[in-house]
Amino acid sequence: MEKQRMPEAGPLRRVVIVGGGTAGWMTAAPLAQLLGGRDHAACCEIVLVESPEIGTVGVGEATLPTIRYYNNSLQLDHAEFIRETQASFKLGIEFKDWGHLGNRFFHGFGEFGPAIQNRSSIMHWLRLHGLGGMASHEQWSTATVMAMRNRFVPPEGGEVASAANAYAYAFHFDAGLYAAYLRNYAVARGVQREEGTIVDVSVRPGDGFVTAVTLADGRRIEGDLFIDCSGFRGLLIEGVCQAGYHDWTHWLPCDSAQAVPCARVEPLTPYTTSTARSAGWQWRIPLQHRTGNGHVYCSGYISDDQAGRVLMHSLDGAPQGEPRQLRFKTGMRKKIWDRNVVAIGLASGFLEPLESTSIQLIMDGVGRLIELWPDRRCDTHLADEYNRRMAQQYASIRDFIVLHYKLTRRDDSEFWRYCRDMPIPDTLAHQIELFRRSGRVAILDPDSFAEPSWMSLFLGLGLWPERLDPLLAQIDEQALRQHFERLRQAISQTVDAMPDHGAFIHHHVRAQPVKAAA
């Protein structure tokens, strides 16, 4: 019997990225920075293959504050990036009608004040709230107060904690323009862009490693490591590796979306808006040149025509085209790294964009790949560790999103009654019950949402703890109230001195006008 040939040891000689778009070029850019500019003998080529036949839904993308670390790691010019992508600033997400009709709350970026005796400030606020006479916890979130007053300026004076730096921010930008911006960055650093449609994939007998992809015009592109950024199709990770898929639609039943941009309206708000509808929810993402809108819904409870009408009738600006339809299945691949194929972006899984986590998962997927960078053998233990960490993050984000639906008190539609009554993952059930019984928040994944985010959701959706940490009572009540009042006044005065969000953009990072989307 012929002995199976093992892959050669040694560094990767060529990495092939299958698919462009946001995921492909966000993968290519840091790899180009890491691997480019070396002498020819040691160089690892990076080739990206994208098809002109596959478009994107570029109607605006919302992000989390960590996008700034990604941009900084590439040494991007901050102002140039904002102008080139028509970006605006994001301080958090405003939620409307989620807990019940008429409900409104804000998930802001940042803490609710400094910790007090090793307990978070919001824990002490819960104690005072229980005793009576306290304003909403949102008054102690600088980001939330800024958002509600439509103010923005970057944090200042980070050496000493103050109301002027107790917040974080992210961006809204045009995802298509961002991909193009990163494409220019990557190509300038040596990434080879090949345009064409893949019609065949070659695998090595015995171990099933992918060895090459063949394009429609006959070109054959060989590689040692293949990164699948082909979107929902999962051309390599599913089409070749058959990695399998964890279907989470029983917890997250929305399976469809329609998206359309509309004309920009004033004021230019520094936050995303998520409005619950009868069978899903609607997003609003303000950019410099337009506003991105979309309706995420469950097709089992509303027809596509009805969903389209809900979307179009609730736009606050003139529509720029007709809605574009998307279908999806919420979940993740059972293996995101399989053999010498790593899936990034939608090819690895999909969680609806309720908390703007799509780009976060791309960033972390690329970052972990670099951290666990393989040689040509693509050791299975590296893949196992990568899959473990990605699965942990996916599950944590999944639970955070499920929380939005599960804690609803809405009973005005069959969809919301299903969400209210559905079984949930054991991990989320533990987190809910821990908070309900003790006011404490369990963080099961340090790379996912932190305590302030969970607190914003718990309290915003109307979940209040039955008991609190008994050590909170050690601090004198009146002294604590005075502390909180001083902090609230400092935040209010600091925010009042800030410029309007639109005015800040106009004076510092205004982009050039562009034509409406095709």
Question: What are 347-360's pLDDT values in tens digits?
Answer: 999 999 999 999 99
Summarised one tens digit per residue, pLDDT across range 421-465 is 999 999 999 999 999 999 999 999 999 999 999 999 999 999 999
Give every CB contact of residue 48 below 8 A, 6+ residues apart in sequence: 16, 17, 19, 20, 24, 25, 28, 186, 191, 192, 193, 194
Average pLDDT over residues 223-242: 97
The label of the residue with tokens 């409005």 reads 275
What gap in Å lies between CA 452 and CA 99, rounded to an integer? 18
What gap in Å lies between CA 224 and CA 212, rounded to an integer? 9
Check whether residue 239 and residue 337 sit in a common domain: yes
Q: Which one of 357, 378, 399 terminates a domain?
A: 378
In a domain, 278, yes or no: yes
DSSP 412: S
Check whether residue 304 and residue 241 sit in a common domain: no
Average pLDDT over residues 387-395: 98
Going 71 to 72 to 74 to 79, the CA torsion angle's sign is positive
Sheet holding 88-90, edge to edge: 61-62, 170-173, 88-90
Summarised one tens digit per residue, pLDDT across range 260-292 is 999 999 999 999 999 999 999 999 999 999 999
Count the Cβ atoms, other than its own, within 10 Å of residue 244: 12
Active centre residues (catalytic):
90
What gap in Å lies between CA 97 and CA 410, rounded to an integer? 9
Count the Cβ atoms, other than its own, within 10 Å of residue 376: 16
73 in helix, strand or coil? helix
Phi-psi group of 394: left, alpha or beta (phi > 0 → left; psi -120 to 50 → alpha; rest → beta): alpha
Q: pLDDT exceeding 90 applies to what percent of the chain?
A: 92
In a domain, 393, yes or no: no
What gap in Å lies between CA 322 and CA 306, rounded to an integer? 14
Check whether residue 366 and residue 231 sit in a common domain: yes
pLDDT of residue 54: 59
Check whether residue 146 and residue 180 sit in a common domain: no
Check whether residue 421 and residue 435 sit in a common domain: yes
Residue 25, both tokens: 């070029």
Check whether residue 114 and residue 151 sit in a common domain: yes
Average pLDDT over residues 32-39: 76
Summarised one tens digit per residue, pLDDT across range 467-504 is 999 999 999 999 999 999 999 999 999 999 999 999 99
Check whether residue 118 and residue 150 sit in a common domain: yes
For residue 60, what pLDDT band results from cuts at 50, 70 and 90? Answer: low
In a domain, 37, yes or no: yes
User: Comparing C-alpha atoms, which of 312, 329, 313 is closest to residue 321?
Assistant: 312
DSSP string, 328-383: ---EEES-SEETTEEE-GGGTEE--GGGS-HHHHHHHHHHHHHHT---TT--HHHH
Q: 401-440 burial by CB neighbour count: b if 16+ within 10 A, else e?
A: bbbbbbbbebeeeebbebbeeeebeebbeebbeebeeebb
Pairing of strands 45-50, 14-18: parallel
In a domain, 508, yes or no: no
Give every CB contact of residue 483 below 8 A, 6+ residues apart in sequence: 116
CATH number of the structural domain spanning residue 345? 3.50.50.60
Compute and round to an integer the Cα radius of gyration of the chain. Answer: 24
59 in helix, strand or coil? coil
For residue 2, what pLDDT band results from cuts at 50, 70 and 90? Answer: very low
What gap in Å lies between CA 421 and CA 417, rounded to an integer? 6
For residue 1, what pLDDT band results from cuts at 50, 70 and 90? Answer: very low
What gap in Å lies between CA 444 and CA 421, rounded to an integer? 24
Sheet holding 104-108, edge to edge: 104-108, 92-96, 272-277, 280-286, 291-297, 256-262, 324-327
Q: How far is CA 478 from CA 118, 276, 377, in A?
A: 19, 40, 64
| Domain tally, the chain | 3
In a domain, 82, yes or no: no
DSSP 449: -
| Maximum mean pLDDT: which of 148-162, 208-222, 502-516 | 208-222
Q: Which of 4-13, 29-38, 41-50, 196-205 has the lowest mean pLDDT?
A: 4-13
Is a pLDDT exceeding 80 seen at residue 518?
no
Is a pLDDT exceeding 70 seen at residue 170?
yes
pTM above 0.85, yes or no: yes
In a domain, 180, yes or no: yes
Check whether residue 214 and residue 351 sit in a common domain: yes
Check whether residue 206 and residue 320 sit in a common domain: no
Give every CB contact of residue 49 below 8 A, 6+ residues apart in sequence: 16, 17, 18, 19, 194, 195, 196, 198, 213, 215, 221
For residue 53, what pLDDT band results from cuts at 50, 70 and 90? Answer: low
Average pLDDT over residues 236-253: 97
Is a pLDDT exceeding 60 seen at residue 91?
yes
For the chain, the straight-line distance linking the first and the last C-alpha, in angstroms and rounded, comes to 60
Residue 273, both tokens: 């808006």
In a domain, 342, yes or no: yes
Check whether residue 372 and residue 301 sit in a common domain: no
Average pLDDT over residues 132-143: 97
324 in helix, strand or coil? strand
In a domain, 202, yes or no: yes
Check whether residue 119 and residue 151 sit in a common domain: yes
> 44: domain range?
14-60+174-245+330-378
Check whether residue 145 and residue 19 sit in a common domain: no
Is the CB of residue 332 less than 8 Å from the CB of residue 201?
no
